[in-house]
Structure 1
């Protein structure tokens, strides 16, 4: 059986991580391929490619540059993709095409319109829904793409929150296969850390979805609290806001002495044990890989009660604030966090992650779908 995963690019990302984790399955009789729609070009790209090749996964690079500028570039990539897919269909005759996120979803939909239907007659279409919000600003396009996936009975949700959000918007309840994560076998020490302080990590895209505005408000509120040190690792459209907050967010608009901004950290899971807590004020998620990786690596998560984020943590998780209320965040940091038993929380989260988010379980359930068995 030949299974082709379509991802946006060979780069750092939750959906890309899921596709790689599935494709690295050791199940015999399945040949995995991973295809990028836009050509990844970050420092992480070679590592991602080498990881796939080490697991005997076939990779297919794109010639369309990955330009994070406008939906127009993604649409151009989607319009050009049928040419590549025609070659793939004729050369390899995939048994399964598995799409991840909106750019590959759109590319596959466009290909289905322009390529002969006979090419897909023996190909199973699978699509993972990775987020609770789809097609923002592209409602018309989104409705047509979702009709295509509904007709192919293709969609699989990664969490209860994703399934419920999709059903509310499109009227279809997708089956659920939870994402899987693995415990880091070779932890590394993150340098430098702030000695004698509680080290808080914020990692991810600096975009509105990740609660960056809330992060900045919390940094301002805690500007005089030297019990904490925040390491912010990421990049994105709100990078300037974070820089301004760190440079001018203290008392009398002085630079913060308890926060720093770094570029994205690759192989982040291997460094998680160096920190005391992971701070995630996300507005929404699909099923947060970052939160699950933190829990399985004994790093407690301080989380907003966002759909797709709360699903990754044990019930009644005490390090959670509702609706990103900044006053509640200030109380949690000022009063609760310094007194809590961190190790007990880390153990509780680890146990929950191991029980619910196994990589092998995820691989086996998707392979049942590929074999046309019930999820």
Structure 2
């Protein structure tokens, strides 16, 4: 039993009646107690709870702690770090020693840094959630020097953290870009409980609901609204919130002749304000995954925002406008106000609050924190055999198909794949076998939540490293005669299982379908992929099917493969020595050489997830080229007529890379991703050639 005390106001040591908890403590640490997006996040978690944990929040005195007391969430009052970071750190260290939390979870940069200092030599796991990491660090830090020093500090403190959480994919990319973190990152988007559908009415009551500070770009809000009012005189604007720019904004509204149609009421109840307006306008310079935008979409309002940060993870393209295009932004406001059919809907990958909390607990498990009443209690549900009430074993009918998924650190994406499998159309009976190549505590919790929706189980495959081993273990564990293989980070289409089963039932073939790039990936990422493939313009839909390799035969990608189980075993499965890629090429070629064919059906479509930041793109291209050279050398020894490899070309291209990188380091994102792929692929090709040619070069 863990014991701690509810502290008295202003006293971090506590002096009131002990609170007894049967669960380990998750101590959340914040450097401020203002009411804003981060406070909303904390209060939502306090209302819902963290399954298996007791939440305690430590922060300076202020409105957040007042709200948490109303919610009966235990709090610890810490000194304000503005009055002295050392005092904050000492008080926090004392709190950690006294409460003995299983995990200390920091929010916001100041808390991240002070937690790293305050917990040196103490046992709890460290986790941080990043809410406000921008691609342009100067937005918050003012100068390149300050941004650079903060970047170094974060890179250093992350070495002490077990896991990082990003509230959006754009936040994760910025973390990788600026901090080069050694700890794993999981994206857990801010959760919103979906409201029942409400009838929307047209109107141009425009709302800005944010802090009145420079990064919110409220001067542009007024200038855009001036264009809206000129076209639609009935339009009205409310700028709700508090902050240092209130006087400046009142003056600008007067200069623009908008004093009679613009109000600045200060702090308002957000939920009430949303019911009294038609469109939210937010041309912010810095957003990650804005609660204002989430709530506005959830409430059925029109929304127009800047095309920055995580806004494209909430809003469709027609709701996003470039910051340098005020006329287009004004037109979008008018459209959203008057045409209710153009208003956005909440994306499916935005979790409910309970789902968000569950994902946080899964991260704690990844960080090595065990809790009471975890998914371990449910492991017996996933045995191959079922049991009657009298304890006798009942033989279950084998399913028609087995979906095999190799798993390695895919906790942030697996749910999307399992959701897609749980909603298959016209599918035969099928089971899902997840081959765990990580040895993950978190995986059991994820799988347990799908026990009612899928025939699903986990098999252990972490004794040998590599995706090939995991796939082989999964196929051997399959109860069905037909295998459908996919990856844990993609999303299968609604008829995927049915299409693959139909093809492999008709003939002994390798079955597959197209991979679609332009649905689950950011636009710059799939457009860069098209440019890398030599396309002048990226098509939409952007589909990729089987293609020839090394001038020899076509192959089926392992992330979208249907095959008979016995055929897979007869061919020897995937080659477990091929760790970096090309294992599916090798398997496909062995199947073709045995007399089997490849069959393609568009109904077996998969949304394919691409690497989204430069470092991952470069690393993947490097690994693929190294693996390709290994397959090339093996094929030459086997007498396959694969095309030649030019060492001279590889040397020349590698020599040109430094100049290429220098001339494009400040280019647009698409160009940078293309250069990253070229750098990784070229160096991988060169080192691969040197490796396989080494005996000849001696």
Q: TM-score normalised to the size of structure 2?
A: 0.44
Paired residues of 1:215 and 1:281 also in contact (CA < 8 A): yes
Q: Are 2:194 and 1:171 aligned?
A: no
Q: Corresponding residue for 2:107?
A: 100
Q: Corresponding residue for 1:218?
A: 224
How far apart are the structure 2 equivalents of 1:99 and 1:243?
A: 36
1:286 to 1:60, Cα distance in 2 relative to 1, 3 A:
same
Q: Are 2:300 and 1:304 aligned?
A: no
Aligned-residue offset at 1:222: 4.1
How far apart are the structure 2 equivalents of 1:152 and 1:86?
A: 16
Structure 1 residue runs without a partner (length 5+): 65-72, 188-195
Paired residues of 1:98 and 1:125 also in contact (CA < 8 A): yes
**Secondary structure of the residue that 2:188 maps to in structure 1?**
coil
Q: Corresponding residue for 1:243?
A: 250
Q: For residues 277-318 of structure 1, give each alpha carbon's deviation from its aligned partner in whole angstroms, at most 9, with x where no partner exists.
A: 1111111211111111111222221111111222222x33x2
Q: Corresponding residue for 2:264?
A: 261
Q: Corresponding residue for 1:291?
A: 293
1:95 to 1:337, Cα distance in 2 relative to 1, 3 A:
closer
How far apart are the structure 1 equivalents of 2:195 and 2:105?
A: 27
Q: Corresponding residue for 2:126?
A: 125
Paired residues of 1:132 and 1:308 also in contact (CA < 8 A): no
In the TM superposition, 1:181-220 aligns within 5 A as 181-183=192-194, 198-220=204-226
1:146 to 1:56, Cα distance in 2 relative to 1, 3 A:
farther
Paired residues of 2:79 and 2:88 also in contact (CA < 8 A): no
Q: For residues 54-84 of structure 1, give each alpha carbon's deviation from its aligned partner in whole angstroms, at most 9, with x where no partner exists.
A: 54321122343xxxxxxxx63x442211221
Structure number with higher relative contact order (C-alpha < 8 Å, ≥ 6 residues apart): 1
Aligned with residue 165 of structure 2, among 156, 173, 191: 156
Aligned-residue offset at 1:18: 1.4
How far apart are the structure 2 equivalents of 1:51 and 1:205?
A: 19
Q: For residues 237-275 of structure 1, give each alpha carbon's deviation from its aligned partner in whole angstroms, at most 9, with x where no partner exists.
A: 32222111222211xxxx532211110213x12431221
1:355 to 1:174, Cα distance in 2 relative to 1, 3 A:
closer
1:258 to 1:358, Cα distance in 2 relative to 1, 3 A:
same
Aligned-residue offset at 1:50: 5.2
Identify which range, 52-61 or 84-93, moves more after superposition.
Answer: 52-61
How far apart are the structure 2 equivalents of 1:364 and 1:184?
A: 20
Aligned with residue 272 of structure 1, among 274, 290, 295: 274
Q: For residues 81-108 of structure 1, give each alpha carbon's deviation from its aligned partner in whole angstroms, at most 9, with x where no partner exists.
A: 1221132122211111111112212321
Aligned-residue offset at 1:164: 1.0
How far apart are the structure 1 equivalents of 2:362 and 2:166?
A: 15
How far apart are the structure 2 equivalents of 1:54 and 1:87?
A: 25
How far apart are the structure 1 equivalents of 2:32 and 2:366?
A: 27
Structure 2 residue runs without a partner (length 5+): 1-23, 368-408, 412-698
Paired residues of 1:204 and 1:264 also in contact (CA < 8 A): no
How far apart are the structure 1 equivalents of 2:68 and 2:113?
A: 24
In the TM superposition, 1:41-52 aligns within 5 A as 45=63, 48-49=64-65, 51-52=67-68
Q: Corresponding residue for 2:5?
A: none
How far apart are the structure 2 equivalents of 1:124 and 1:106?
A: 15
Aligned-residue offset at 1:142: 3.8
Aligned-residue offset at 1:26: 3.8
1:304 to 1:338, Cα distance in 2 relative to 1, 3 A:
same
**Secondary structure of the residue that 2:305 maps to in structure 1?**
strand
Number of aligned positions between the proteins? 332
**Secondary structure of the residue that 2:366 maps to in structure 1?**
coil
How far apart are the structure 1 equivalents of 2:41 and 2:50?
A: 16
**Secondary structure of the residue that 2:211 maps to in structure 1?**
coil
**Secondary structure of the residue that 1:179 maps to in structure 2?**
coil
Aligned with residue 227 of structure 1, among 211, 234, 252: 234
Q: Are 2:25 and 1:18 aligned?
A: no
RMSD: 2.7
Paired residues of 2:154 and 2:179 also in contact (CA < 8 A): no
How far apart are the structure 2 equivalents of 1:183 and 1:338?
A: 22
**Secondary structure of the residue that 1:349 maps to in structure 2?**
coil
Paired residues of 1:223 and 1:257 also in contact (CA < 8 A): no
Aligned-residue offset at 1:166: 1.4
> If you compute each CA radius of gyration, which structure gives the higher value, 1 or 2?
2
